[in-house]
Structure 1
């Protein structure tokens, strides 16, 4: 397997913030020696400008992905459960602004934004005139795509947040007003529209390394998801339909013209298949073994002994509720790829791995397989808390479900939406549904994307009435193995409306009291 060398960057300190500039590597996956340089002398060649956004695909995301995304997406939603004192409050809706995980969320996502802003605001004035404008615009499109993604997480987690388009504007004035949710979404859409118009078109082939960067099609797919959240069903359908018809992406496995027979749902999560034809946008992690340059999720998800290091903390287990949600554990191929049953055998894992009969992540009597990829020797490198497997942010399987949901809500052809839903089901080994409902789409999203950190947002966007009822009736308990068969120690918690958004970190409100004041409309005049 070709070793991944994506996260290989140089850095420069601008003012006093950690605004980073990327590597001057000729190869997207290559790392040059680290040294300091000046932005004024860096963006001189096409190769340098093409490498400009490399670092935005990895390091600034580390704390969010490793420590936050699963706590919000899986614990709060009831897909997972834990006794871990650091994150158990996500299970029972007891999160306050003092919680360090929220601070990590805020800091990590705004670091992504700050570093994106650095590129967006520096490149146009520093680039050598010999570099073609389309090369410059493509790098700016990458940065704006990634900035939009970070804001998409922030607005779904916190609601109204400050829109910062240039961090240097606030060096001497750290008090920044928050902006209305609708303005944050407008800012996101403008970034993605720029990306859609300026990123390169791609034809994705068998050289997966060439698929690592986002494309114009990636931006169109992400924009379809934004319109889905805004309940603009017609636009969500139109854009997702365009991406489907483009043929750029394929289901890894599945049938029909947009099914890639070289893979399967299970194969999506093998490191060797990073940047496969289903990947629309994925974070790219390094084999270097350096902390924050690799993917830290396996350390939290894996059972002890799998990684080859002293990690493997089993910090979260698949909830009893999620286990019961699979309609057919034997037939649905996603179960084996997501959840480790006692005695299951995984031939790819460390040359062959049999799950222990007493596996019991957090009282659930099972473990997690998704994003658990094994030791460095069989996995292309890495080290403790630093593994080389990609993290999906958006993939084609989800785009098909976006297409289906938009269609079933009246945004487009019901028949075409049904086809998209059933492509996902058939790839999973399940029978098609002749006349699916929106409840079927919601259920399919839960199973298809389990432990990909999306389910909390899916629950909340259904509206308060649905979300409060669903969350209050989600089983978050454990098995009692002192009985035969095991009985359930039931745990259910009832959220309030306030729990559907997370509080701002207390240190942020102390440093920026404007967060506690009413939102202020964002001035878009500079963007017109």
Structure 2
């Protein structure tokens, strides 16, 4: 933790003097990044609005690049990998020296620190020409990001320190962790603070304007937090406020029938009407500004490759997930590539240097993970102008990473209506649930259980970083039983591993424990004043 506190001044300077990242259109509207005085930098609405640019991308990069997939997807049994740097969670063998664990932990605290700088200091650094609503909207985005970072921290590590102002701890960087219930209180308070400050929006067809979060985004995330706390009435109310607002729409649903589930994950549909919150990537020549999923997923062999880098296919679908789809589920082909599947919109590099379009080869020619399949979601292929956007020297691209979509909000609404009961035939719950199923090409159900919703969440949100957390919401014995039954091997050899109680929370990084031994002490109550 000392490392985190000691880097606070760096984040403070970065936040107040510079814009750490940039994305297309509104995210590129920023002043030069050298020789700027503090007063001059925040003299206009545009400069204030740009203060959170980096918090949509670069502060999340070390979380999203490998850690998110290595824990939430490999750990949950959705993904398979044999790559040594990301496969520890496949066998529940991760430890505090794991490089990607350290990266994920550090990324969360970078987000907290930068959000704290904006929340605590931005108001005193603006000139008279800055409109109050612009200032408050920017601060609202910081509250949203801090809440989101803590939502990940508490679900991954459990008790962690609550830090609302890093400067409070510069003289005493050895800090106690706080209770899980207090962390959830902070998260709820932060999302409510964001709701009070953020602009209302209507996600329209001008996708370039949809990148930033809105009041509806914060309400949707708060509905999810309430669901985790089994505050079903609050979760239902918040979800219904978002649904009734009409801000978001189901891609391929009745409002947008010409679109499909697969269309959500194409570059041209970045920030579409279904996107509630997504990381915004921009290939600006700096490492950590682009999205690496096209390389990490997909196919990379001497015969055919979808990667723009010299490697690819680090992650693959698990045998267990491939067996989970029912016949006719349109999400399967949009999520997992099986031999013989054709994707004419995806450009590939073939043996000998020729280019072609993607027809998935035989199982033994798909890639080094020996899964016999590859991941389609977020795999958009060889750079190809308007179809893919640009690519940087590391093979990273500009397609967004979804953290929450409207489909999930609909499933949250259905589960909150169920409210822990055995089943429900409530019309509103069925409307929300069946909208997601129907978009996937599946028939409606007339009554739903928790298990129905749980399965639907897995298939709808596969490779979007949620299944590990869904398993963590179950009674431990039930989650352990599910995971112990998963085939976590490749197509040649089935492998089974049984997690223990302690495997559902990650270890703190060894270096941070050495600097702050209080991480291992019992958590203490937090004083919210």
In structure 1, the residue matched to 2:329 is: 332
Question: SS of 1:347's equivalent?
Answer: strand
Q: Are positions 1:421 and 2:399 aligned together? A: no
Assess, with a 3 A threshold, how the Cα gap between structure 1 residues 382 and 38 changes in structure 2: closer, same or farther.
same
Q: 1:331-362 deviations in whole A, cap 9, x for unaligned?
A: 11111111011121112112731112232552
Mapping for residues 434-453 of structure 1, pairs under 5 Å: 434-453=446-465
Assess, with a 3 A threshold, how the Cα gap between structure 1 residues 435 and 27 changes in structure 2: closer, same or farther.
closer
Name the stretch that deviates more: 469-478 or 423-432: 469-478
Distance 2:345 2:338 in 1: 16
In structure 2, the residue matched to 1:402 is: 412
In structure 2, the residue matched to 1:354 is: 359
In structure 2, the residue matched to 1:365 is: 372
Mapping for residues 39-438 of structure 1, pairs under 5 Å: 39-255=38-254, 259-304=255-300, 306-307=305-306, 309-328=308-327, 331-350=328-347, 352-357=357-362, 358-360=365-367, 362-378=369-385, 379-383=388-392, 384-409=394-419, 414-438=426-450
Q: 1:393-451 deviations in whole A, cap 9, x for unaligned?
A: 11101000101111112699822111111000000111111111110000000000000
Distance 1:115 1:170 in 2: 15
Q: Report the Cα offset of residue 15 of structure 1.
A: 3.2
Q: Report the Cα offset of residue 37 of structure 1.
A: 2.3
In structure 1, the residue matched to 2:3 is: none
Question: SS of 2:403's equivalent?
Answer: strand
CA contact (8 A) 1:196 1:220 kept: yes
Assess, with a 3 A threshold, how the Cα gap between structure 1 residues 311 and 150 changes in structure 2: closer, same or farther.
farther
Distance 1:335 1:289 in 2: 34
Distance 1:460 1:15 in 2: 35
Q: Mind listing any 5+ residue stretches in structure 1 that lack a counterpart?
A: 1-12, 481-488
CA contact (8 A) 2:144 2:194 kept: yes
Name the stretch that deviates more: 272-281 or 469-478: 469-478
CA contact (8 A) 1:289 1:387 kept: no
Q: 1:256-293 deviations in whole A, cap 9, x for unaligned?
A: xxx32242110000011001000000000003343111
CA contact (8 A) 2:39 2:127 kept: no
Q: Report the Cα offset of residue 79 of structure 1.
A: 0.7
CA contact (8 A) 1:20 1:118 kept: no
CA contact (8 A) 2:65 2:293 kept: yes
CA contact (8 A) 1:291 1:385 kept: no
CA contact (8 A) 1:91 1:476 kept: yes
Q: Report the Cα offset of residue 61 of structure 1.
A: 0.5
Q: Report the Cα offset of residue 307 of structure 1.
A: 4.4
CA contact (8 A) 1:288 1:381 kept: no
Q: Are positions 1:516 and 2:513 aligned together? A: no
Distance 1:128 1:413 in 2: 55
CA contact (8 A) 2:78 2:318 kept: yes
Q: 1:203-253 deviations in whole A, cap 9, x for unaligned?
A: 221100111110001100000000010011111111101101110000011
Q: Report the Cα offset of residue 95 of structure 1.
A: 1.1
Name the stretch that deviates more: 260-269 or 316-325: 260-269
Q: Report the Cα offset of residue 103 of structure 1.
A: 0.6
Distance 2:213 2:34 in 1: 27
Distance 1:308 1:233 in 2: 43
Distance 1:311 1:162 in 2: 40
TM-score, normalised to structure 1, is: 0.91
CA contact (8 A) 1:286 1:382 kept: no
Distance 2:382 2:285 in 1: 12
Q: Report the Cα offset of residue 171 of structure 1.
A: 2.2
Assess, with a 3 A threshold, how the Cα gap between structure 1 residues 16 and 59 changes in structure 2: closer, same or farther.
closer
CA contact (8 A) 1:286 1:388 kept: yes
Q: Report the Cα offset of residue 454 of structure 1.
A: 0.7
In structure 2, the residue matched to 1:499 is: 503
Q: Report the Cα offset of residue 149 of structure 1.
A: 0.6
Name the stretch that deviates more: 370-379 or 222-231: 370-379
Distance 1:124 1:170 in 2: 21
CA contact (8 A) 2:295 2:307 kept: no
In structure 2, the residue matched to 1:464 is: 476
Question: SS of 2:322's equivalent?
Answer: helix
